[in-house]
Amino acid sequence: MQACGIDFGTSNSTVGLADASGARLIALEGGSPTLPSAVFWQTEGAPPLFGRAAVAAYLEGEDGRLMRGLKSTLGSGLINDKTAVGGRAVSFKDVLSRFIGHLRDAQQAAVALDRVVLGRPVHFVDDDAAADAAAEATLAEIARTCGWREVAFQYEPIAAALHYETTAAAEELVLIVDIGGGTSDVSVVRVGPGRAARPDRAGDILANDGIRVGGTDFDRLLSLAEAMPHLGYLSATRGGGTMPRHYYLDLATWHRINALYTARTASDLKALRAEADHPERIDRMIRVVAGQHGHALAMRVEAAKIALSEAEAARLPMSDLTGGPNPVIRREGFEAAVEAPLDRIRSLLLRVLDQAGVSAGQIGTAFLTGGSSQLPALRATVQGVVPGAPLATGDMLGSVGTGLALDAARKFG
Ligand SMILES: Nc1ncnc2c1ncn2[C@@H]1O[C@H](COP(=O)(O)OP(=O)(O)OP(=O)(O)O)[C@@H](O)[C@H]1O
Ligand SMILES: [Mg+2]
């Protein structure tokens, strides 16, 4: 008897299968268990492309629209918005359904199942219970449309805890810190070899909370600090004003980039150029928008961010996209740009310990997962909150999917 868990992530997705002997992730693209959460919607009525193939088609200049960060549209007003692709209107919900349908096809090819456990962040939306419930309901509806008859949810950090537990040698309190592309989720969970098989684990979850902050926010803030000023962000215009900010916010935000690709924006930017103190900067902006290079630029910014996890400085190559310079970014510059969200994550960690009613000294291990948990500043933040606890890292991109499958085996097995 197999059971299935799906981790639909802001940046990457996985599909886990489990039975009594354990859990594994299935290959989704060319032998890899992760599928980048990207869709390339082709113009000529051809079926959409997913994952690395979607990104490659976009970078090769094929006709169509690349969409990334789609999970961020759940719980936002954007979910039912339509975007024009090749003269056809497509809603984000349609695009999400195709992507999750693709995950469903991969699962069906491995084993036919009609029940699934989907992961969800602790909060899709901060401080808005109704929008949060709507986000979960939309995701459940999409999953049913894709063919699963029974859909259950598990919190992503609890899933990560279940995966961590498969390696735990002794009973302990673990602080789970899952920092992904869209959300930061934290839990305090009691794990232990003797506990995994228990049917009801509610009493072992001491606290669970999360905020809508993740790697895509770090990308946006880095872009606004280091890339967008070269394209005219915050530049003066004649008459004492500055360039309108919203164009730059859209260009720096993964799931809003396509909104710029309209005739209206093109003509507005041209008019603004005539008013700008630095028209050469606006020319770069016009070039990026006209060439639909927004995602390419965002990928370069993300790559520079990732490089800064290893190096003290990294070059941001963008002159081929903008016609402007290739700035060098220093790690201090990045960390200054993301200070506010890191402070929010620190407060979240302290709040969750408080909710759990435990002191930092009672935490046996801090288990870090999610791609953004590789940021040195983030690891330092966690270590600062639980100074005595070792930081463990497992499979950064696979823990949640594996844990969701284990949860599915328990719920449906
Ligand atoms: N070495 C690194 N340093 C910093 N950030 C990184 C590194 N590697 C990956 N990331 C970031 O990790 C994020 C993706 O992580 P992950 O795949 O865990 O997210 P996700 O599960 O899709 O998102 P979520 O769970 O929030 O919906 C991206 O923002 C990516 O840029
Ligand atoms: Mg995740």
Q: Is 304 in the pocket of ligand 1 (CB under 6 A)?
A: no
In a domain, 43, yes or no: yes
The stretch 146-168 carries a mean pLDDT of 96
How does the average pLDDT of the chain come out, rounded? Answer: 95
Q: Whose alpha carbon is nearest atom 8 of ligand 1?
A: 371
For residues 14 and 151, membership in a common domain is answered with: yes
For residues 140 and 66, membership in a common domain is answered with: yes
Number of domains in the chain: 3
Q: Is 214 in the pocket of ligand 1 (CB under 6 A)?
A: yes
Asked whether the predicted pLDDT for residue 200 surpasses 90, the reply is no
For residues 291 and 372, membership in a common domain is answered with: no
Cα of 162 from ligand 2 centre, angstroms: 14
pLDDT of residue 260: 96
The stretch 86-107 carries a mean pLDDT of 92
Side chain identity, residue 323: G
For residues 220 and 254, membership in a common domain is answered with: yes
In a domain, 195, yes or no: yes
Asked whether the predicted pLDDT for residue 83 surpasses 80, the reply is no
Q: Find the farthest-apart pair of alpha carbons in the chain and give their distance in angstroms, rounded.
A: 71
Asked whether the predicted pLDDT for residue 85 surpasses 80, the reply is no
Q: How far apart are CA 342 and CA 150, in angstroms?
A: 37
In a domain, 292, yes or no: yes
Q: Which of 322, 337, 352 is the last residue of a domain?
A: 337
Cβ 211 vs Cβ 348: under 8 Å: yes
Asked whether the predicted pLDDT for residue 86 surpasses 90, the reply is no
Helix (H), strand (E) at residue 333: helix 331-337
How do residues 302-361 score in pLDDT, each as one tens digit? 999 999 999 999 999 999 999 999 999 999 999 999 999 999 999 999 999 999 999 999
For residues 10 and 150, membership in a common domain is answered with: yes
Residues of the chain above pLDDT 90, percent? 91
Q: Among the atoms of ligand 1, which is closest to the Cα of residue 34? A: 17
Tell me the pairing of strands 172-179 and 365-369. Answer: parallel
For residues 186 and 223, membership in a common domain is answered with: no
What pTM did the predictor assign?
0.96
In a domain, 88, yes or no: yes
Domain span including residue 359: 171-213+344-393
In a domain, 379, yes or no: yes
Q: Is 12 in the pocket of ligand 1 (CB under 6 A)?
A: yes
In a domain, 131, yes or no: yes
Helix (H), strand (E) at residue 132: helix 129-146
How do residues 208-256 score in pLDDT, each as one tens digit? 999 999 999 999 999 999 999 999 999 999 989 999 999 999 999 999 9
For residues 107 and 21, membership in a common domain is answered with: yes
For residues 145 and 275, membership in a common domain is answered with: no
Q: Is 180 in the pocket of ligand 1 (CB under 6 A)?
A: yes
Q: Which protein residues have their CB within 5 A of the ion that is ligand 2?
A: 9, 180
In a domain, 164, yes or no: no
For residues 112 and 255, membership in a common domain is answered with: no
Cα 45 from chain centroid? 28
Q: Is 338 in the pocket of ligand 1 (CB under 6 A)?
A: no
How do residues 15-33 score in pLDDT, each as one tens digit? 999 998 899 999 999 999 9
For residues 408 and 386, membership in a common domain is answered with: no
pLDDT of residue 1: 81
CATH number for 363: 3.30.420.40
**DSSP codes of every residue in 208-228:** EEEES--HHHHHHHHIIIIIG
Helix or strand or coil: residue 325? coil
Q: Which of 295, 313, 337 is the last residue of a domain?
A: 337
For residues 220 and 324, membership in a common domain is answered with: yes
Q: Is 374 in the pocket of ligand 1 (CB under 6 A)?
A: yes
Cα of 223 from ligand 1 centre, angstroms: 16
Q: Is 309 in the pocket of ligand 1 (CB under 6 A)?
A: yes
Q: Among the atoms of ligand 1, which is closest to the Cα of residue 214? A: 26
Q: Is 377 in the pocket of ligand 1 (CB under 6 A)?
A: no
For residues 201 and 284, membership in a common domain is answered with: no
